[in-house]
Chain A
């Protein structure tokens, strides 16, 4: 992320050559700028406290947690909790549910914002474009509870969608209780809620395309689709790569919130994912150590996926990855 020159630091180096005096000027520098450190302090302290301390606290996954003795003084048990999870009959179901939900979500959800942005880019009238965007962005600002609530209302056996379904096929579909449909309900509603907003970054990038390029291409006889393919798409390619890496890196960390809200006892066979499982065994049943191990396993897979996808995208994309 940091790419600019560092005059502050190189300045300190150029004043003195001896190692000791460099560190002394550096300290002087820090003292002179103590106000800046004061400004930075709250963010730094809170980050260390609420991000780095829990990272250390994750050792609980390797211990037999006793509430009386606390995290630090509980006994080490090695990989016991991990083994328990990996060998439990739940493992395959939960793992595959998480993977499927995320992978399908990514495959279905990734191209649609790009398509939307390319389509919006073709709307020449600014006012109309702004109004369409106003509507398409709106679902992003609706709370996940409301979205889940609306799904229960619309997809209930007597709801408006099933009124149409039963009018056509004579039978309502059990959208919210049949495990068959859970994935589709989840993924399609996710696209409905986020695709518009996700397109904003591509729309903004496309606004930077020089219209002269399109003019020139058009004079050379390039059709609309050819111009989109050769001018618009290459413009947003770097952003596509970054968005894809980030999305793929988070492939296992599929949103707890909506999955949990949409869960019913009937659709559990396809709706139980790692995140909801961690919540249930950890905070509802109080098995902190085991639950933390499952969570850690999940993060580990995430990091591996992130690094792996970044590596592949870099190879395909002229060495342009996330880092």
Chain B
């Protein structure tokens, strides 16, 4: 960069830096507050508000959350649903994307149109719900996995990826005389690890964070994912069943439920916080390929 900046331009750049710093603060402060408050003594937090006195630290909220059955069950349900959803979505997207990337697939254009139409038109909530009910998927994990498994953006993403490699694949196949199945499993799948990784991460995160499908398709509390348990704590202000004993006083209950809110937010976000730095480098790659065809 040899660009010469005038004094006014340099002033603008400094201002730019300040505003970006402010933007970062606006993101960091709320999270920081929640994390710090989750380690505070609930009585102190309730009576005096937030402070940084070292004597006020406490792990009471985490003890309550980790000892809570609904929360733990929700956690494992969520892992199950998110993993299952990621596996199914990635397999379907990779297979369809590979097929649609091949020039020899007659009717590609029609198939693409068929998929793309679904991005703009839909039957709506009620007909979809009635269909899921009719298929007897209500109150099964499949209701969260199967109806949303086809993601058109993912298919486009995979297809774009395969467009880049599919010619060389055909040549290799001609030389070796390998069967289609061998090519797909031995060459294509191993080559597409990066794209599978990106798709799996987005699918996992999406399912981990969603609650709506679970809310309408599941009745059995034993099947509830973490987000539904979290909703009852955060939004409906109900401590999850078994969290607070009957004999405890109202003040105690209020104090604990406030406490539990902070720690449950932290616990529920933990898997994503841990994964986040690892998948950051895939952000731009994934978004670019997906959005610009």
Q: Which residues of A pack against B, CB within 8 Å?
A: 1-2, 6-9, 12, 26, 29-30, 32-33, 35-37, 39-40, 42-44, 46-47, 49-58, 60, 71, 116, 119-120, 122-124, 130, 132, 134-139, 141-146, 148-150, 152-154, 160, 163, 192, 196, 200-201, 203-204, 211, 214-215, 218-219, 223-225, 239, 249, 256-257, 261, 278-279, 282-283, 288, 291-292, 295-296, 298-299, 303, 306
Contacts and interface: CB of A to CB of B under 8 A. Distances in A.
A200 B284 contact: yes
B122 interface: yes
Interface of B: 1-6, 8-9, 12-13, 16-17, 19-20, 23-24, 26-28, 30-31, 33-34, 49-50, 91-93, 95-96, 98-100, 102-106, 108-109, 111-116, 118, 120-131, 146-150, 155-156, 180-181, 184, 205, 208-212, 216, 227, 230-231, 233-235, 261-262, 265, 268-269, 272, 276-277, 280, 283-284, 287-288, 291-293
Contact of A211 (B1, B16, B130, B284): B1
B130 A60 contact: yes
A40 B95 contact: yes
A42 B91 CA distance: 9
Contacts of A201: 287-288, 291
Contacts of B208: 143
Given A46-B150, A288-B130, A1 B3 contact: no
A8 B230 contact: no
B116 A146 contact: no
B146 to A, nearest CB: 7
A298 B121 CA distance: 11
A42 B108 CA distance: 15
Contacts of B28: 135
A105 to B, nearest CB: 18
12 contacts: A8-B106, A37-B105, A119-B19, A134-B277, A135-B24, A138-B27, A143-B268, A145-B211, A149-B230, A223-B8, A225-B9, A257-B211
Contacts of B277: 134
A264 to B, nearest CB: 10
Contact of B269 (A42, A47, A51, A142): A142
B127 A292 contact: yes
Given A44-B114, A149-B261, A218 B106 contact: no
Contacts of B19: 119
Contact of B17 (A123, A137, A288): A123
B109 A2 contact: yes
A312 to B, nearest CB: 17
Contact of B27 (A130, A196, A288): A196
- The interface residues of chain A, by DSSP majority, are classed as helix
A57 B130 contact: yes
Contact of A54 (B24, B93, B124): B124
B230 A146 contact: yes
A39 B99 contact: yes
A246 to B, nearest CB: 9
Nearest to B281: A130
B61 to A, nearest CB: 13
A114 to B, nearest CB: 14
A237 to B, nearest CB: 14
Contacts of B149: 46
A214 B3 contact: yes
A223 B208 CA distance: 47
A249 B119 CA distance: 11
B157 to A, nearest CB: 13
Given A47-B118, A138-B27, A292 B126 contact: yes
Given A200-B284, A223-B6, A223-B9, A50 B124 contact: no
Contacts of B130: 57, 60, 71, 288
